[in-house]
Structure 1
Amino acid sequence: MNALNQTELLRALPYARRFARAVTGDRDSGDALVAQVLGKPLPDLPARLALYAAIAQAAPPQAASSGLPQLQRHILLLTALEDLPLSDAGRVLALSDDEAAREAEAARAALRAVAATDILVIEDEPIIALDLKRLVEACGHRVVGLAASEADAVRQAQAKRPGLILADINLGRGGDGSVAVAQIQRAMTVPVIFVTAYPERLLTAEGAEPAFVISKPFEPLALAIATYQAVHGGRAPPV
């Protein structure tokens, strides 16, 4: 790690880890990618952008048959999930403003055509749950259940075998969404996106951490690209 920028790099590290996990589609692979780039000289950019750029450059090739070219996937992740202005995303990916705009528009168009999956929403606030349902259905997915408690989430997951779970952590009197997810994942392999107002609680570098975290409030496009990455993880869907 560059000693001159150590403070800035440490401050940017949680964002870099989130981006790398989304790029690879896996928590452990994402963290390994971050460790890899920290061992090498970084691009001449501000700390957060430099980490993003190094991760994008070092990311392993992804299957073209999974729907989105790698460059377009990266620009969506940077703008939608990491909330970068398009101009900064272009700097990260060595694109001009015009090139970045063209790639972003092409990526959004391609994203609308990806295969759908069945989604279980774990959320105790009815309005938020219905909003999540509306947004993921607008992306072409199917919501097979809305669960407001740990017990209901586990029951519905066992009965409906979703292809993806969207989960809040704080379920009020219904318990803890992360506890429900842990119990579900002991019985089946299913990708999970946590949607929370407190993402820092899930990225502490202590204990088990999720691969995908979206901050509340979120943009619909952020949810769309996160569901894509969680389901496909840069890999071709099964046939």
Structure 2
Amino acid sequence: MNNSASEAGFSDLIASELPYLRRYSRALTGSQSRGDKYTVATLEMLLKDRSPFDNEDPVKVNLFKCFHAIWTTTGQQFSEPDDSLRGRAEGLLAKLTANSREALLLRTIEEFSLDQIAKIMQIDVEEARRLITAANTELAESVKGRVMIIEDEPIIAADLTAIVSDLGHEVTGVARTHKEAIELADEATADLILADIQLADNSSGIEAVNELLQKMDVPVIFITAFPERLLTGDRPEPAFLISKPFQEAQVQSAVSQAMFFASTATLKN
């Protein structure tokens, strides 16, 4: 294989995993813009040095390992000016066990094994396990709020309601359509929206959320079977995505992360 073909093959492998790195980085930082800055920095590093990929680990593991090398060496800092709300979020962040959110997101949202998390974060497996346990406990205790659920499948809506309630949050109600979502928002304020993409009347959950965000400034978690379709970089995108079919731990993690960053950007970022 010639160099150009090898170059193209490597680029294709990175491109196939890039949407998931972007999903992870924005969930970690709380917004599209901050997350994408770290993703771009990771890609720039790879242009200069591919040696981190000279092993038998999966491309996704090596890509995330490169990201974490940058994330940790930059002090895990947000690059945008603080406001009072952002300051509140960072104040909460300072109280959490160091690196615990990273481990939790890698496990629940990206579904890496404990061994892979250990490689990505350059720690041992038991430390990865400890960090995940700490994050689950600390995030669940840090912020309580009110959650609106937009979901047209009754069984899924019931599952989501139970998961959210078990975390200690209040569910303001469940909307099955765009119209019901708008009506529910008028009846009860929410601190977080949990929304499906396709609704009962064939209306768009994204359109419903966009309309809601004209009235309220809250984080949004989208549920979709095709997360890569919302991670193209072509338009403002959600900071938090859950893939279908989802596990309870994924919803717990996403809700806790989003509620933690209750002041950060969502689709309007």
| TM-score (structure 1 length as normaliser) | 0.89
Structure 2 residue runs of 5 or longer lacking an equivalent are 1-5, 79-89, 265-269
CA RMSD, aligned part only?
2.3
CA contact (8 A) 1:79 1:86 kept: yes
Which residue of 40, 44, 48 maps to 2:52?
44
Distance in 1, matches of 2:185 and 2:172, equals 9
Given candidates 22, 35, 38, the residue that maps to 1:30 is 35
Structure 2 residue 153 is the aligned partner of structure 1 residue 125: yes
Match of 2:129 in 1: 101
Percent of pairs with identical residues: 34
CA shift at 1:129, angstroms?
Answer: 0.7
- Give the AA of the match of 2:24: F
- Which amino acid in the other structure matches residue 198 of structure 1? F
Pair 1:115-2:143 in alignment? yes
Relative distance call for 1:83 and 1:43 in structure 2 (3 A) is farther
Look at both structures and tell me which one has the larger radius of gyration over its CA atoms: 2
Distance 1:43 1:183, change over 3 A: farther
CA contact (8 A) 2:97 2:131 kept: no
Shift of 1:177: 0.7
2:188 corresponds in structure 1 to 160
2:218 partner amino acid: V
**1:202 to partner: Cα distance:** 1.6
Change (3 A) 1:234 1:131: closer
CA drift of 1:7 comes to 1.9
- Partner of 2:242: helix, strand, or coil? strand
CA distance in 2, matches of 1:90, 1:181: 37
Question: How much does 1:94 deviate?
Answer: 0.3
Measure the CA separation in 2 of the matches of 1:96 and 1:234.
Answer: 32
User: Hey, what's the Cα distance between the residues in 2 that align with 1:70 and 1:47?
Assistant: 26
* Map of 2:16 onto structure 1: 11
* Cα distance change on mapping 1:55 and 1:159 into 2, 3 Å: farther
Equivalents in 1 of 2:18, 2:182: separation in Å? 33
The one-character-per-residue Cα deviations of 1:178-210 (angstroms, maximum 9, x if unpaired) are 110010112221110001222232223322321
Matched, 1:57 2:69: yes
* Range moving further from structure 2, 130-139 or 167-176: 167-176
- For the residues of structure 2 that align with 1:195 and 1:110, how far apart are their CA atoms? 24
Q: CA deviation at 1:114?
A: 2.6
Question: Gapped runs of 5+ residues in structure 1?
Answer: none
Q: 206-215 or 145-154, which moves further after superposition?
A: 206-215
Give the TM-score of the pair, scaled to structure 2. 0.80
Q: Which moved more, 1:190-199 or 1:17-26?
A: 190-199
Residue 43 of structure 1 deviates from its aligned partner by: 6.8
Deviation at 1:15, TM superposition (A): 0.8
Query: What residue number does 1:82 align with?
Result: 110
2:148–2:190 contact (8 Å) kept in structure 1: yes
Q: Which amino acid aligns with 2:17?
A: A
In the alignment of these two chains, the number of paired residues is 235
Could you tell me which of 122, 131, 134 is aligned with 2:162?
Answer: 134
**Cα distance in 2 between the residues matched to 1:207 and 1:223:** 25
CA contact (8 A) 1:166 1:193 kept: yes
1:196 matched to which residue of 2? 224
For structure 1, which segment, 170-179 or 50-59, has the greater mean C-alpha deviation from structure 2 after superposition? 50-59
The 1:191/1:43 distance shift into structure 2, 3 A limit, reads farther
Give the structure 2 partner of residue 212 of structure 1: 240
